Amino acid sequence: MKEDHRYDDIIQLPHPTSSVHPRMPLADRAAQFSPFAALTGHQDAILETERITEAWTEPDENEKELLDRRLLLLRKALSNCSFTESGERLLPEAVFTYFEPDGKKAGGAYVTVKGRVARIDDHARLIVLEDGRRLKLDRIRHISEAP
């Protein structure tokens, strides 16, 4: 005995195709079923929370004394720098490790840069490098000669 099903009469027919509307690309069809983000920005907030920052540690007295001596050597090198034959000033070069505070959360990162010192601004408490970078004296942790 044969069973009748509701769609037996149309199951073998070809899939209908519109002559007016083109078929939707598979990528667009898949996008219809992507998860709905009810909380926009929530994933970004989670990623920001997971991002690790370092804490600023105050240098001890020995480290401060060493920084002061190296800063003094930089000042002397800056005041005694020579000139090339074309008249260009040969600025002293150094490697600085300083603390860069994070703009979004507590803490920051220790950054090491190499550059030529254009000037030391005692009033603004900055070291200005030849490329325009400005390093706050209070945030510098280490100064060494450039290799």
More confident residue, 79 or 43: 79
Strand order of the β-sheet with 126-129 is 134-136, 126-129, 108-121, 93-101, 140-145
Residue 124 covered by a domain: yes
Is residue 76 a contact partner of residue 120, using CB atoms and an 8 Å limit?
A: no
Find the domain containing 98 and state its range.
61-145
pLDDT(137) > 90 = yes
The pTM score is: 0.65
More confident residue, 78 or 47: 78
The reported pLDDT for the residue numbered 104 is: 85
In the predicted model, what is the mean pLDDT of residues 33-52? 77
Cβ neighbours of residue 70 closer than 8 Å, sequence gap 6 or more: 94, 143, 144
Residue 49 covered by a domain: no
If one counts the domains in the chain, the total is: 1
The reported pLDDT for the residue numbered 66 is: 95
pLDDT tens, 97-113?
A: 999 999 888 899 999 99
Residue 7 covered by a domain: no
